Amino acid sequence: MKEFKGSIDRLRVNGERLRQTMETMSKIGRTKGGGVQRLALSDEDKEARDLFIKWLKELNLEILIDQMGNIFGKRKGKRDDFTPVITGSHLDSQPKGGRFDGVLGVMGALEVLRTLEENKIDTERPIIIVDWTNEEGSRFAPAMVGSGVWSGSLDTEWVYNRTDASGKRFEDELKRIGYKGEFPCKSFPIYAYYEYHIEQGPILERENKIIGAPKGIVCLHWYDIYVEGEANQVGPTPMEGRHDALCAAAEMILKVNELPSKVKGDLVATVGEINNYPNSRNIIPDKVHFTVDIRSWDDQLALEAWKILEKEFKAISEKRGCPIRVEETWKVEHSPFDKRLVQRVLDNAQRLGYPSLYMVSGAGHDASYMNQVAPTAMIFVPSINGRSHVEVENTKWEDCEAGVNVLLHCILQSANER
Ligand code: GLV
Ligand code: MN
Ligand code: MN
């Protein structure tokens, strides 16, 4: 290992090492269709965390695990009393998810630290790499709970008591995998937060750009709807007078899909999860649970849209004699990032010769919560065919490398600012 003698502007990460690290990590929870399944606090999540910590130890980082299981690795600065630069993302995945969502931001940050280490480059400020717990919110709703508690937006006990579909508590599962740390989950002053991620949409590819610099993240509103009907034998029970919870839910779900066309402004609305009970072909369903996800850059528009939906749900519920209960599970406001850091992402992309685009993030990220407590920016790279949260999720290795080079220089500049 020799010291980097050239101009620091010419420093680049090792793309081949990044690819190998990503490929090693993607063996954990690998699915038949070529994706990964590492649900939060599962055995696969534990295995990924163990490997991550092994790699952090090789860099002699100071490792800290907090009470939410967030993992931090600190590289000392020349001025260790200066506030640190933080970078990272998440290692958990969706069910049958992709190999890049989240993990690229953690392995990319690791590649930055490895590059600094092998070139013996010290920075003024400390640099901290982070893996946030349960970003996906698929097993335990809501999403982004590690950064949510850390930033002071979510309550620890509330998160500990969230349960998965089989009734297992978050805290019990966190303990079971050995990642309920000692350290309080609480923000400390930080100088800048960068999160590197795949775009998860089609825009960069369509525009022929390599780097995306989101101006921020849309708002995310989650609701859980419980519809009550009356179960009965399907044969002898006449069609008239039935209270079929699934039919009521079906009508409601179509209203969710039609919602964006009824409002003035950009908004997306989705039902992604549905549970039907007792789920037998010869029993009229008496209970249905489904989820609603509404996102927009305009928080007010998302709230107004929900009001429209609520009225429509109520009318369907009355017409079919199927009472409903609504839980407002989660709300995160839209998150406009730090202008100076976003500009830094664009400037570095230009300097390194990567075509870039100023855009909006439609996906949620830990950066939403981090933005509430620290100057924050993200770096996006293209998703092939705009596919994500699926096993075929993919990004060209050269684009992955480009994104880490931008991350490297953003971090170097922030970490050397006094
Ligand atoms: C996070 O994965 C999201 O739901 O956008
Ligand atoms: Mn993600
Ligand atoms: Mn995701």
What pLDDT sits at residue 4? 76
Distance in Å, CA 407 to ligand 2 centroid: 16
Cβ–ligand 1 contact at 201 (below 6 Å): no
CB 135 within 8 A of CB 35: no
Cβ–ligand 1 contact at 379 (below 6 Å): no
CB 231 within 8 A of CB 278: yes
Cβ–ligand 1 contact at 312 (below 6 Å): no
Beta bridge partner(s), residue 122: none
Q: Is 7 helix (H, G, I), strand (E, B) or coil?
A: coil
Residues 6+ apart with CB under 8 A from 339: none
Cβ–ligand 1 contact at 364 (below 6 Å): yes
Distance in Å, CA 136 to ligand 3 centroid: 5
Q: Which atom of ligand 1 is nearest to the CA of 293?
A: 4
Of the bound ligands, which one is closest to the alpha carbon of residue 95?
A: 3
Taken in order of first residue, the domains within the chain and their CATH numbers are 8-218+334-415 (3.40.630.10), 219-332 (3.30.70.360)
Q: Which of 127, 61, 154, 47 is nearest to 92 (CA)?
A: 47
Distance in Å, CA 236 to ligand 3 centroid: 46
Q: Which atom of ligand 1 is nearest to the CA of 295?
A: 5
Cβ–ligand 1 contact at 143 (below 6 Å): yes
Distance in Å, CA 162 to ligand 3 centroid: 19
- Spatial separation of the C-alpha atoms in residues 353 and 402, rounded to whole Å: 9
Residues 6+ apart with CB under 8 A from 237: 284
Task: State which of 104, 293, 365 you would mutate to test the pocket of ligand 1, scoring each by most atoms of that ligand within 8 A of its C-beta.
Answer: 365
Question: How does pLDDT run along the chain (418 residues), one tens digit per residue?
Answer: 456 778 899 999 999 999 999 999 999 999 999 999 999 999 999 999 999 999 999 999 999 999 999 999 999 999 999 999 999 999 999 999 999 999 999 999 999 999 999 999 999 999 999 999 999 999 999 999 999 999 999 999 999 999 999 999 999 999 999 999 999 999 999 999 999 999 999 999 999 999 999 999 999 999 999 999 999 999 999 999 999 999 999 999 999 999 999 999 999 999 999 999 999 999 999 999 999 999 999 999 999 999 999 999 999 999 999 999 999 999 999 999 999 999 999 999 999 999 999 999 999 999 999 999 999 999 999 999 999 999 999 999 999 999 999 999 999 999 999 9
Task: State which of 39, 89, 104, 136 you would mutate to test the pocket of ligand 1, scoring each by most atoms of that ligand within 8 A of its C-beta.
Answer: 136
Distance in Å, CA 138 to ligand 3 centroid: 9
Which residue's alpha carbon is at the smallest distance from atom 4 of ligand 1?
364
Task: State which of 133, 199, 389 you would mutate to test the pocket of ligand 1, scoring each by most atoms of that ligand within 8 A of its C-beta.
Answer: 389
Which residue's alpha carbon is at the smallest distance from atom 1 of ligand 1?
364
What pLDDT sits at residue 388? 98
- Spatial separation of the C-alpha atoms in residues 172 and 163, rounded to whole Å: 10
CB 176 within 8 A of CB 69: no
Q: How far is CA 337 from CA 111, 217, 345, 384, in A?
A: 24, 8, 12, 25
